[in-house]
Structure 1
């Protein structure tokens, strides 16, 4: 998984710090959501031999707003001041539509988590991005034995 992110970085997706800070937090969250979803799908495919429908059901437990909110709360003390500021910036954005299957607070923290992932992706901090996503899997696995 890490290899394709590095390859994207090498193809010019990485932006300057200034450019990324000028991006809308919800735009970063949009990319963060995609990166995290791809990471989780890859993780599940490499650890099981299940049909696509079962993989999808398993993926939901990792990517739903409640799970992402739990992740970001457990990671808070491990995040730098800058990273937590990015989470808060994403969390505080007004959503264009209300969440359908989540509490508003969980949805906001999930948006903050995804904003951080998008930020790390676009700034080319692939190793930090991978560390956070790997820790997120551990958190979910420990909460759902």
Structure 2
């Protein structure tokens, strides 16, 4: 399966990436805040909102963070034709968010666990830099 990860539809990769990012963020927020579920939920939405993911996308692209293969998946994810409408955000923000999630899903299906963990940790780091004090 690892060598076939690039064959998956980018929206399928994003579907998996969304779940992985959500789990990573929920775990991070629980460990950081040790609070009640409602507080945890509000905190996690800061990290996983389409707006936050789009800002992370822009920062990582500006830093040339992605490998050539990852960048290809990123662009396929951004350009994918979704049949669902973006909720509470504009189309470009939604596409950037989808692209970031596609790379996460791609890394998981490629078996690149270390690179996946590094990306998830980098996403948290970038979000925390933007977090209101």
Partner in structure 1 of residue 71 of structure 2: 84
Partner in structure 1 of residue 45 of structure 2: 60
The size of the alignment, in residue pairs, is 130
TM-score (norm 2): 0.94
Query: Structure 1: how far apart are the matches of 2:38 and 2:2?
Result: 39
- Structure 1 runs (4+) deviating above 4 angstroms are none
TM-score (norm 1): 0.86
Partner in structure 2 of residue 20 of structure 1: 5
Is the contact between residue 17 and residue 103 of structure 2 (CA under 8 Å) also seen in structure 1?
A: yes
Partner in structure 2 of residue 140 of structure 1: 127
Partner in structure 2 of residue 29 of structure 1: 14
The alignment yields a C-alpha RMSD, in angstroms, of 0.9
Gaps of 5+ in 1: 1-14
Given the alignment, which residue of 59, 65, 85 partners 1:74? 59
CA-CA distance at 1:47 after TM superposition = 1.1
Gaps of 5+ in 2: none
